[in-house]
Amino acid sequence: MRRLVLRTGGSRSATKTARVLLIAAAALARANASASAATTQLNGTFTVLFPKGHPASSAPCPPDAFCGVGSLVGYGQATITIDTEDFQPIPGSPCFAVMRTEEIAPTSQVGILALDEHGTFCRPGGSGDSHASPRSYGSPGRFHLTYTIDGAASTGTFAGASGTGTTIMIVAGGVGVWTIRGSLNTT
């Protein structure tokens, strides 16, 4: 093992050089420590099929879950599942305030990414106020949500992750399409 020894000899320029070298070494150590944390773009698209009279799921999703299938850039094929969801009417509006939690699970089984989301669900035009029968099917709608990654609830590669972004989900008939865009910070 070699040891670096700085001999300043008492001159001012040598002392400055030593100080500059120490500052540079400290900066390099900080850079190496933060290099282990990676920030990437979270980018995924998922589709759920829920044809009339059939469960709201798509294989390989569990049959009892509202779950979509698609891909997550950098992780490949994945599923997205709504774990909890709450709708509250927005006074004076045909829209609803929405809060929900979702999990994204790459099929490579590298872990689960947990998202906490809030935003709105609206139907285009006056379709939310239509006089259609309660048994009508296929009314279109759009979710516009903001997500925050829940690193404590995430597992595997995503454990401790953080980040924010948007989730747009458009539903019509028996199809729902999610798009997720934002940041993903992993350690």
pLDDT at site 187: 76
Spatial neighbors of 126 by CB under 8 A, at least 6 apart, are 94
Do 8 and 65 belong together in one domain? no
Contacts 24+ apart (CB under 8 A), 76-82: 76/106, 76/107, 76/108, 77/106, 77/107, 77/108, 78/44, 78/46, 78/104, 78/105, 78/106, 78/107, 79/46, 79/104, 79/105, 79/107, 80/44, 80/46, 80/104, 80/105, 80/178, 80/180, 81/105
Which helix (H) or strand (E) segment holds residue 85: the answer is strand 76-89
CB atoms within 10 A of CB 138: 11
pLDDT tens digits, residue range 50-93?
766 665 557 788 777 888 899 999 999 999 999 999 999 999 88
In this structure, is residue 8 part of a structural domain? yes
Q: Are residues 112 and 148 in the same domain?
A: yes
Contact predicate 104/78, CB 8 Å? yes
25 and 98 housed in the same domain: no
pLDDT bracket for residue 181 (50, 70, 90): very high
Could you tell me if 65 and 101 lie in one domain?
Answer: yes
In a domain, 130, yes or no: no
In a domain, 131, yes or no: no
Q: Which domain holds residue 5?
A: 1-36
Q: How far apart are the first and last CA of the chain?
A: 31
Across 146-169, average pLDDT? 96
Place of tokens 């100080």: 19
Higher pLDDT, 124 or 166: 166
Report the alpha-carbon distance of residue 131 to residue 129 in Å, rounded: 7
pTM beyond 0.85: no
Listed in sequence order, the DSSP H helices in 36-139 are: none
61 and 71 fall within a common domain: yes
Are 123 and 141 in contact by the 8 Å Cβ rule? The answer is yes
Cα 58 to Cα 78: distance, rounded to the nearest angstrom: 12
Structural domain tally of the chain?
A: 2
